[in-house]
Homo-oligomer: A and B are copies of this chain.
Amino acid sequence: MTVSLIIQKYGGSSVASTDHIRRVAMKVASTKIQGNKVAVVVSAMGRQTDQLLNLAAEISNNPSGREQDALVATGEQVCAALLAITLESLGHKAMSLMGLQLPLITDNVHTKARIIEMQTERIEHILSEDIIPVVAGFQGVTESGCISTLGRGGSDTTAVALAASLNAGCCEIYTDVNGVYTADPNICPKARHIKIISYQEMLELAGLGAKVLHSRSVELAQKYQVPLVVKSSFGGDKNTWIVNEEEVMENSIIKGVTLEKDVSKISLIRVPDRPGIAHKILSPLADAAINVDMIIQNASIDGYTDFTFTIPTTDLDKAKTLIDEVAREIDAQKMLAANNIVKVSAVGIGIKTNPGVASRMFHSLSAENINIEMISTSEYRISCVIEEKYGELAVRAVHKAFGLDKDNKEKAET
Protein backbone atom coordinates (compact mmCIF):
# COMPACT_ATOMS: atom_id res chain seq x y z
CA MET A 1 0.00 0.00 0.00
CA THR A 2 1.36 3.40 -0.91
CA VAL A 3 0.96 6.04 1.75
CA SER A 4 -1.12 8.90 0.46
CA LEU A 5 -1.11 12.43 1.81
CA ILE A 6 -4.46 13.93 2.80
CA ILE A 7 -4.97 17.59 3.63
CA GLN A 8 -7.86 18.20 6.02
CA LYS A 9 -9.26 21.64 6.65
CA TYR A 10 -11.56 22.38 9.59
CA GLY A 11 -13.62 25.58 9.69
CA GLY A 12 -14.42 27.80 12.66
CA SER A 13 -17.61 26.03 13.74
CA SER A 14 -15.79 22.66 13.68
CA VAL A 15 -13.26 23.96 16.22
CA ALA A 16 -15.55 26.23 18.24
CA SER A 17 -14.53 24.79 21.65
CA THR A 18 -11.91 22.49 23.14
CA ASP A 19 -14.53 19.71 22.94
CA HIS A 20 -14.94 20.36 19.24
CA ILE A 21 -11.17 20.37 18.85
CA ARG A 22 -10.98 17.01 20.59
CA ARG A 23 -13.47 15.57 18.08
CA VAL A 24 -11.42 17.01 15.22
CA ALA A 25 -8.25 15.49 16.68
CA MET A 26 -9.91 12.06 16.80
CA LYS A 27 -10.83 12.38 13.12
CA VAL A 28 -7.29 13.45 12.19
CA ALA A 29 -5.81 10.63 14.26
CA SER A 30 -8.07 8.01 12.71
CA THR A 31 -7.10 9.17 9.21
CA LYS A 32 -3.47 8.76 10.23
CA ILE A 33 -4.03 5.37 11.82
CA GLN A 34 -5.58 4.17 8.56
CA GLY A 35 -2.14 4.50 7.02
CA ASN A 36 -2.24 7.98 5.53
CA LYS A 37 -0.04 10.97 6.05
CA VAL A 38 -2.13 13.95 7.18
CA ALA A 39 -1.60 17.69 7.28
CA VAL A 40 -4.30 19.81 8.90
CA VAL A 41 -5.38 23.40 8.27
CA VAL A 42 -7.57 25.16 10.83
CA SER A 43 -9.60 28.34 11.04
CA ALA A 44 -10.00 30.39 14.21
CA MET A 45 -12.29 29.01 16.93
CA GLY A 46 -15.94 29.95 16.45
CA ARG A 47 -16.44 33.73 16.53
CA GLN A 48 -12.84 34.47 17.55
CA THR A 49 -12.02 36.47 14.41
CA ASP A 50 -15.05 38.72 14.98
CA GLN A 51 -14.12 39.17 18.64
CA LEU A 52 -10.64 40.31 17.63
CA LEU A 53 -12.06 42.67 15.02
CA ASN A 54 -14.41 44.06 17.68
CA LEU A 55 -11.42 44.85 19.90
CA ALA A 56 -9.86 46.77 17.02
CA ALA A 57 -13.19 48.52 16.39
CA GLU A 58 -13.24 49.72 20.00
CA ILE A 59 -10.08 51.66 19.14
CA SER A 60 -10.38 52.76 15.55
CA ASN A 61 -12.97 52.63 12.80
CA ASN A 62 -10.23 52.41 10.24
CA PRO A 63 -7.34 50.26 11.46
CA SER A 64 -4.55 49.70 8.98
CA GLY A 65 -4.81 46.43 7.10
CA ARG A 66 -1.34 45.43 8.22
CA GLU A 67 -2.09 45.70 11.93
CA GLN A 68 -5.56 44.21 11.55
CA ASP A 69 -3.94 41.21 9.89
CA ALA A 70 -1.35 40.87 12.67
CA LEU A 71 -4.25 40.96 15.14
CA VAL A 72 -6.68 38.48 13.58
CA ALA A 73 -3.98 36.00 12.52
CA THR A 74 -3.66 35.10 16.21
CA GLY A 75 -7.09 33.41 16.02
CA GLU A 76 -5.88 30.61 13.76
CA GLN A 77 -2.59 30.37 15.65
CA VAL A 78 -4.40 29.69 18.93
CA CYS A 79 -6.53 27.01 17.31
CA ALA A 80 -3.55 25.35 15.58
CA ALA A 81 -1.59 25.16 18.85
CA LEU A 82 -4.60 23.76 20.73
CA LEU A 83 -5.18 21.10 18.07
CA ALA A 84 -1.48 20.16 18.13
CA ILE A 85 -1.67 19.85 21.94
CA THR A 86 -4.76 17.64 21.58
CA LEU A 87 -3.10 15.40 19.00
CA GLU A 88 -0.07 15.08 21.29
CA SER A 89 -2.36 14.11 24.17
CA LEU A 90 -3.68 11.31 21.93
CA GLY A 91 -0.12 10.05 21.46
CA HIS A 92 0.61 11.55 18.04
CA LYS A 93 3.47 13.86 17.19
CA ALA A 94 2.13 17.20 15.99
CA MET A 95 3.44 20.70 15.33
CA SER A 96 1.54 23.93 14.81
CA LEU A 97 2.73 26.37 12.17
CA MET A 98 1.72 29.95 11.44
CA GLY A 99 1.56 31.11 7.82
CA LEU A 100 4.70 33.07 8.68
CA GLN A 101 6.47 29.86 9.65
CA LEU A 102 5.69 27.78 6.57
CA PRO A 103 6.24 30.34 5.05
CA LEU A 104 3.28 31.04 2.81
CA ILE A 105 4.36 34.13 0.88
CA THR A 106 1.64 36.56 -0.24
CA ASP A 107 1.42 39.93 -1.93
CA ASN A 108 1.00 42.91 0.37
CA VAL A 109 -2.70 43.61 -0.18
CA HIS A 110 -3.49 43.27 3.50
CA THR A 111 -6.83 41.73 4.60
CA LYS A 112 -7.22 40.12 1.16
CA ALA A 113 -3.75 39.06 0.15
CA ARG A 114 -3.10 36.61 -2.67
CA ILE A 115 -0.65 33.74 -2.48
CA ILE A 116 2.64 34.23 -4.30
CA GLU A 117 4.40 31.09 -3.15
CA MET A 118 3.84 28.23 -0.74
CA GLN A 119 7.24 27.05 0.44
CA THR A 120 7.14 23.38 1.33
CA GLU A 121 10.63 22.48 2.51
CA ARG A 122 9.79 22.83 6.20
CA ILE A 123 6.43 21.07 6.11
CA GLU A 124 7.87 18.24 4.00
CA HIS A 125 10.57 17.78 6.59
CA ILE A 126 7.94 17.70 9.35
CA LEU A 127 5.87 15.12 7.46
CA SER A 128 8.96 13.01 6.84
CA GLU A 129 9.50 12.83 10.60
CA ASP A 130 5.99 11.43 11.02
CA ILE A 131 4.79 14.61 12.70
CA ILE A 132 1.30 15.93 11.88
CA PRO A 133 1.64 19.56 10.80
CA VAL A 134 -1.24 21.74 12.01
CA VAL A 135 -1.25 24.86 9.88
CA ALA A 136 -2.93 28.10 10.88
CA GLY A 137 -5.10 28.82 7.85
CA PHE A 138 -6.08 32.16 6.36
CA GLN A 139 -2.70 33.77 6.87
CA GLY A 140 0.65 34.28 5.23
CA VAL A 141 3.53 36.67 5.25
CA THR A 142 4.40 39.43 2.79
CA GLU A 143 7.78 39.57 1.13
CA SER A 144 8.69 42.36 3.56
CA GLY A 145 7.93 40.05 6.49
CA CYS A 146 4.54 41.39 7.66
CA ILE A 147 1.71 39.06 8.60
CA SER A 148 -1.02 39.05 5.95
CA THR A 149 -4.43 37.39 5.67
CA LEU A 150 -6.20 35.94 2.65
CA GLY A 151 -9.67 37.33 3.38
CA ARG A 152 -12.72 35.54 4.75
CA GLY A 153 -12.72 31.87 3.87
CA GLY A 154 -9.00 32.05 3.24
CA SER A 155 -8.35 28.86 5.21
CA ASP A 156 -9.87 26.89 2.32
CA THR A 157 -7.32 28.51 0.05
CA THR A 158 -4.49 27.64 2.45
CA ALA A 159 -5.62 24.01 2.43
CA VAL A 160 -5.83 23.73 -1.34
CA ALA A 161 -2.52 25.55 -1.84
CA LEU A 162 -0.94 23.09 0.57
CA ALA A 163 -2.53 20.14 -1.23
CA ALA A 164 -1.30 21.47 -4.58
CA SER A 165 2.23 22.22 -3.39
CA LEU A 166 2.60 18.89 -1.63
CA ASN A 167 0.91 16.96 -4.42
CA ALA A 168 -1.61 15.54 -1.95
CA GLY A 169 -3.99 12.74 -2.86
CA CYS A 170 -6.94 14.89 -1.92
CA CYS A 171 -8.04 17.90 0.05
CA GLU A 172 -10.92 17.42 2.49
CA ILE A 173 -12.83 20.51 3.56
CA TYR A 174 -14.83 19.94 6.75
CA THR A 175 -17.67 22.38 7.35
CA ASP A 176 -20.71 22.66 9.55
CA VAL A 177 -22.99 22.60 6.52
CA ASN A 178 -24.01 19.26 5.18
CA GLY A 179 -22.22 19.37 1.81
CA VAL A 180 -23.28 21.36 -1.24
CA TYR A 181 -26.94 21.73 -2.18
CA THR A 182 -28.81 22.80 -5.29
CA ALA A 183 -29.87 25.88 -3.29
CA ASP A 184 -29.65 27.09 0.30
CA PRO A 185 -32.04 24.68 2.12
CA ASN A 186 -33.00 27.52 4.49
CA ILE A 187 -34.39 29.44 1.53
CA CYS A 188 -35.51 26.56 -0.62
CA PRO A 189 -36.74 23.57 1.43
CA LYS A 190 -36.85 21.44 -1.69
CA ALA A 191 -33.10 21.82 -2.35
CA ARG A 192 -31.25 18.55 -2.98
CA HIS A 193 -27.76 17.43 -2.00
CA ILE A 194 -25.15 17.43 -4.80
CA LYS A 195 -22.81 14.42 -4.80
CA ILE A 196 -20.45 15.52 -7.51
CA ILE A 197 -19.89 18.82 -9.26
CA SER A 198 -17.30 20.27 -11.62
CA TYR A 199 -14.72 22.84 -10.53
CA GLN A 200 -16.26 25.39 -12.89
CA GLU A 201 -19.74 24.97 -11.49
CA MET A 202 -18.50 25.02 -7.91
CA LEU A 203 -16.48 28.12 -8.70
CA GLU A 204 -19.60 29.91 -9.83
CA LEU A 205 -21.56 28.70 -6.81
CA ALA A 206 -18.75 29.65 -4.41
CA GLY A 207 -18.35 33.07 -5.99
CA LEU A 208 -22.07 33.68 -5.72
CA GLY A 209 -22.55 33.26 -2.04
CA ALA A 210 -22.94 29.53 -1.54
CA LYS A 211 -20.94 29.70 1.65
CA VAL A 212 -19.43 26.23 1.51
CA LEU A 213 -16.14 27.02 -0.20
CA HIS A 214 -14.03 30.08 -0.84
CA SER A 215 -13.97 30.59 -4.62
CA ARG A 216 -10.22 31.15 -4.77
CA SER A 217 -9.73 27.73 -3.21
CA VAL A 218 -11.79 26.14 -6.01
CA GLU A 219 -9.89 28.12 -8.64
CA LEU A 220 -6.63 26.89 -7.19
CA ALA A 221 -7.89 23.31 -6.94
CA GLN A 222 -8.86 23.38 -10.62
CA LYS A 223 -5.59 24.94 -11.69
CA TYR A 224 -3.53 22.31 -9.89
CA GLN A 225 -6.04 19.46 -10.36
CA VAL A 226 -6.49 18.86 -6.64
CA PRO A 227 -9.45 16.56 -5.95
CA LEU A 228 -11.56 18.41 -3.41
CA VAL A 229 -14.23 16.96 -1.17
CA VAL A 230 -16.57 18.84 1.14
CA LYS A 231 -17.52 16.85 4.24
CA SER A 232 -19.58 17.54 7.32
CA SER A 233 -17.50 17.78 10.49
CA PHE A 234 -20.45 16.43 12.43
CA GLY A 235 -20.49 13.08 10.62
CA GLY A 236 -23.00 11.88 8.05
CA ASP A 237 -22.30 10.85 4.49
CA LYS A 238 -23.41 13.95 2.62
CA ASN A 239 -20.09 14.52 0.89
CA THR A 240 -19.69 16.58 -2.24
CA TRP A 241 -16.81 15.86 -4.59
CA ILE A 242 -15.47 18.68 -6.75
CA VAL A 243 -13.70 17.30 -9.80
CA ASN A 244 -13.07 17.85 -13.51
CA GLU A 245 -16.03 18.43 -15.82
CA GLU A 246 -15.36 15.13 -17.61
CA GLU A 247 -15.69 13.19 -14.40
CA VAL A 248 -19.18 14.47 -13.63
CA MET A 249 -21.30 11.69 -15.10
CA GLU A 250 -24.93 12.75 -14.90
CA ASN A 251 -25.23 16.35 -15.93
CA SER A 252 -28.32 18.35 -15.30
CA ILE A 253 -28.46 21.62 -17.26
CA ILE A 254 -28.51 23.66 -14.09
CA LYS A 255 -26.65 22.47 -11.02
CA GLY A 256 -27.77 25.03 -8.49
CA VAL A 257 -29.37 28.36 -7.77
CA THR A 258 -27.74 30.96 -5.57
CA LEU A 259 -28.66 34.18 -3.86
CA GLU A 260 -26.00 36.81 -3.28
CA LYS A 261 -27.09 39.43 -0.77
CA ASP A 262 -23.94 41.42 -0.24
CA VAL A 263 -24.38 43.39 -3.47
CA SER A 264 -24.53 47.12 -4.10
CA LYS A 265 -24.69 49.10 -7.29
CA ILE A 266 -23.30 52.44 -8.28
CA SER A 267 -24.53 54.36 -11.32
CA LEU A 268 -22.92 57.34 -13.04
CA ILE A 269 -25.56 59.33 -14.88
CA ARG A 270 -24.87 61.26 -18.11
CA VAL A 271 -21.23 60.42 -18.53
CA PRO A 272 -19.65 62.09 -21.60
CA ASP A 273 -19.02 59.04 -23.81
CA ARG A 274 -15.34 59.17 -24.71
CA PRO A 275 -12.98 56.28 -25.49
CA GLY A 276 -11.40 54.85 -22.35
CA ILE A 277 -14.20 56.07 -20.10
CA ALA A 278 -14.85 52.60 -18.58
CA HIS A 279 -11.19 52.25 -17.74
CA LYS A 280 -11.15 55.71 -16.21
CA ILE A 281 -14.13 54.85 -13.99
CA LEU A 282 -13.06 51.39 -12.94
CA SER A 283 -9.30 51.61 -12.54
CA PRO A 284 -9.39 53.46 -9.17
CA LEU A 285 -11.53 50.57 -7.88
CA ALA A 286 -9.06 48.01 -9.21
CA ASP A 287 -6.24 49.93 -7.54
CA ALA A 288 -8.17 49.74 -4.26
CA ALA A 289 -8.65 45.97 -4.76
CA ILE A 290 -12.45 46.35 -5.03
CA ASN A 291 -13.98 43.64 -7.19
CA VAL A 292 -16.40 45.01 -9.74
CA ASP A 293 -18.86 42.32 -10.77
CA MET A 294 -21.56 43.24 -13.29
CA ILE A 295 -21.07 46.24 -15.58
CA ILE A 296 -23.69 47.84 -17.80
CA GLN A 297 -23.10 50.75 -20.13
CA ASN A 298 -26.14 52.07 -22.00
CA ALA A 299 -26.03 52.92 -25.66
CA SER A 300 -24.75 56.45 -26.14
CA ILE A 301 -27.35 59.20 -26.73
CA ASP A 302 -26.16 62.68 -27.76
CA GLY A 303 -22.63 61.68 -26.72
CA TYR A 304 -23.73 60.78 -23.17
CA THR A 305 -24.14 57.38 -21.56
CA ASP A 306 -25.13 55.91 -18.18
CA PHE A 307 -22.68 53.56 -16.51
CA THR A 308 -23.73 51.09 -13.79
CA PHE A 309 -21.78 48.43 -11.95
CA THR A 310 -22.10 46.21 -8.89
CA ILE A 311 -19.61 45.69 -6.07
CA PRO A 312 -19.64 43.94 -2.68
CA THR A 313 -21.57 46.03 -0.15
CA THR A 314 -18.60 45.92 2.22
CA ASP A 315 -16.69 48.05 -0.29
CA LEU A 316 -19.56 50.48 -0.99
CA ASP A 317 -18.36 53.38 1.17
CA LYS A 318 -14.83 53.20 -0.15
CA ALA A 319 -16.09 52.89 -3.74
CA LYS A 320 -18.47 55.85 -3.36
CA THR A 321 -15.59 58.07 -2.22
CA LEU A 322 -13.45 56.98 -5.18
CA ILE A 323 -16.21 57.22 -7.80
CA ASP A 324 -17.39 60.58 -6.51
CA GLU A 325 -13.95 61.91 -7.38
CA VAL A 326 -13.99 60.22 -10.79
CA ALA A 327 -17.46 61.68 -11.48
CA ARG A 328 -16.09 65.21 -11.08
CA GLU A 329 -13.04 64.47 -13.21
CA ILE A 330 -15.03 63.06 -16.13
CA ASP A 331 -17.90 65.53 -15.81
CA ALA A 332 -20.62 62.99 -15.07
CA GLN A 333 -23.93 64.57 -14.06
CA LYS A 334 -24.32 62.59 -10.86
CA MET A 335 -23.60 59.40 -8.98
CA LEU A 336 -26.31 57.12 -7.55
CA ALA A 337 -25.71 54.24 -5.15
CA ALA A 338 -28.03 51.53 -3.82
CA ASN A 339 -27.65 48.48 -1.65
CA ASN A 340 -31.22 47.19 -1.59
CA ILE A 341 -30.52 44.72 -4.35
CA VAL A 342 -29.58 41.03 -4.57
CA LYS A 343 -28.26 38.77 -7.29
CA VAL A 344 -29.97 35.50 -8.17
CA SER A 345 -27.97 33.10 -10.34
CA ALA A 346 -28.48 29.77 -12.06
CA VAL A 347 -25.27 27.78 -12.43
CA GLY A 348 -24.54 24.76 -14.59
CA ILE A 349 -22.27 23.48 -17.34
CA GLY A 350 -25.41 22.83 -19.42
CA ILE A 351 -25.86 26.54 -20.03
CA LYS A 352 -23.30 26.85 -22.82
CA THR A 353 -24.91 24.04 -24.84
CA ASN A 354 -28.58 24.84 -24.15
CA PRO A 355 -29.60 28.15 -25.72
CA GLY A 356 -33.04 28.28 -24.09
CA VAL A 357 -31.80 28.37 -20.49
CA ALA A 358 -31.65 32.14 -20.07
CA SER A 359 -35.16 32.74 -21.28
CA ARG A 360 -36.48 29.97 -19.06
CA MET A 361 -34.95 31.75 -16.06
CA PHE A 362 -36.30 35.18 -17.07
CA HIS A 363 -39.75 33.67 -17.58
CA SER A 364 -39.77 32.08 -14.13
CA LEU A 365 -39.02 35.48 -12.57
CA SER A 366 -41.56 37.43 -14.60
CA ALA A 367 -44.20 34.82 -13.72
CA GLU A 368 -43.70 35.97 -10.09
CA ASN A 369 -43.82 39.65 -11.12
CA ILE A 370 -40.17 40.15 -10.27
CA ASN A 371 -38.48 42.92 -12.27
CA ILE A 372 -34.93 42.22 -13.52
CA GLU A 373 -32.64 45.24 -13.11
CA MET A 374 -29.39 43.88 -14.51
CA ILE A 375 -28.39 40.67 -16.31
CA SER A 376 -25.05 39.02 -16.84
CA THR A 377 -24.19 35.66 -18.29
CA SER A 378 -21.17 33.45 -18.63
CA GLU A 379 -20.59 29.97 -20.01
CA TYR A 380 -21.66 28.49 -16.71
CA ARG A 381 -23.97 31.07 -15.17
CA ILE A 382 -26.92 33.39 -15.68
CA SER A 383 -27.32 36.12 -13.06
CA CYS A 384 -30.10 38.61 -12.50
CA VAL A 385 -30.01 41.58 -10.14
CA ILE A 386 -33.43 42.14 -8.58
CA GLU A 387 -34.95 44.00 -5.66
CA GLU A 388 -33.80 42.60 -2.35
CA LYS A 389 -37.27 41.75 -1.06
CA TYR A 390 -37.86 39.25 -3.90
CA GLY A 391 -34.59 37.33 -3.35
CA GLU A 392 -35.87 34.18 -1.64
CA LEU A 393 -38.94 33.94 -3.82
CA ALA A 394 -36.77 34.22 -6.92
CA VAL A 395 -34.50 31.38 -5.79
CA ARG A 396 -37.46 29.05 -5.26
CA ALA A 397 -39.00 30.02 -8.62
CA VAL A 398 -35.79 29.42 -10.60
CA HIS A 399 -35.03 26.22 -8.65
CA LYS A 400 -38.44 24.84 -9.59
CA ALA A 401 -38.27 26.06 -13.19
CA PHE A 402 -35.14 23.98 -13.83
CA GLY A 403 -36.61 20.84 -12.32
CA LEU A 404 -34.31 20.86 -9.30
CA ASP A 405 -37.04 20.47 -6.65
CA LYS A 406 -36.76 17.33 -4.57
CA ASP A 407 -40.17 16.03 -5.71
CA ASN A 408 -39.00 15.97 -9.30
CA LYS A 409 -36.14 13.56 -8.59
CA GLU A 410 -35.97 10.16 -6.95
CA LYS A 411 -36.32 10.37 -3.17
CA ALA A 412 -33.31 8.11 -2.67
CA GLU A 413 -30.92 10.91 -3.44
CA THR A 414 -32.20 13.23 -0.76
Q: How far is the CB of A342 from chain B (nearest CB, A)?
A: 34
Contact of A70 among B64, B73, B84, B122 (CB under 8 A): B84
| A74 in contact (CB, < 8 A) | yes
Cβ B55 vs Cβ A67 within 8 A: no
| A235 in contact (CB, < 8 A) | no
Q: Which residues of B contact A64 (CB under 8 A)?
A: 84-85, 88
| A81 in contact (CB, < 8 A) | yes
Cβ A63 vs Cβ B78 within 8 A: no
| A359 in contact (CB, < 8 A) | no
| A86 in contact (CB, < 8 A) | yes
Closest chain B residue, CB of each to CB of A134: B67
Within A192-245, which residues are at the interface with B (CB < 8 Å)? none
Q: How far is the CB of A145 from chain B (nearest CB, A)?
A: 6
- In the bound complex, what is the Cα–Cα distance between A70 and B56 (angstroms)? 22
Number of copies: 2
Of A93-101, A183-191, A251-259, A268-276, which stretch is located at the interface?
A: A93-101
Number of residues on chain A facing chain B (CB within 8 A): 39
Q: For chain A, what secondary structure do more than half of its interface residues adopt (helix, strand, loop), or is it mixed?
A: helix
- In the bound complex, what is the Cα–Cα distance between A80 and B56 (angstroms)? 12
| A18 in contact (CB, < 8 A) | yes
| A400 in contact (CB, < 8 A) | no
Contact of A85 among B56, B80, B86, B146 (CB under 8 A): B56
| A58 in contact (CB, < 8 A) | yes
- In the bound complex, what is the Cα–Cα distance between A86 and B58 (angstroms)? 10
| A82 in contact (CB, < 8 A) | yes
Contact of A71 among B62, B78, B89, B146 (CB under 8 A): B78
Closest chain B residue, CB of each to CB of A72: B81
| A22 in contact (CB, < 8 A) | yes
- In the bound complex, what is the Cα–Cα distance between A2 and B157 (angstroms)? 50
Knowing A67-B84, A71-B81, A145-B122, say if A89 contacts B52 (CB, 8 Å).
no
Cβ A59 vs Cβ B21 within 8 A: yes
Q: How far is the CB of A103 from chain B (nearest CB, A)?
A: 9
- In the bound complex, what is the Cα–Cα distance between A338 and B145 (angstroms)? 50
| A313 in contact (CB, < 8 A) | no
Closest chain B residue, CB of each to CB of A25: B59
- In the bound complex, what is the Cα–Cα distance between A18 and B73 (angstroms)? 19
| A364 in contact (CB, < 8 A) | no
Q: Which residues of B contact A62 (CB under 8 A)?
A: 89
Closest chain B residue, CB of each to CB of A60: B89
Q: How far is the CB of A290 from chain B (nearest CB, A)?
A: 22
- Sample of 10 more A-B contacts, CB < 8 Å, known A18-B59, A71-B82: A18-B58, A22-B59, A55-B82, A67-B84, A67-B88, A70-B84, A71-B81, A98-B100, A101-B145, A101-B146
- In the assembled complex, 16 residue pairs joining A and B whose CB atoms fall closer than 8 Å, in A order, are A18-B55, A56-B81, A59-B82, A59-B85, A59-B86, A62-B89, A64-B84, A67-B88, A68-B85, A71-B77, A71-B78, A71-B85, A77-B77, A100-B101, A101-B146, A122-B145
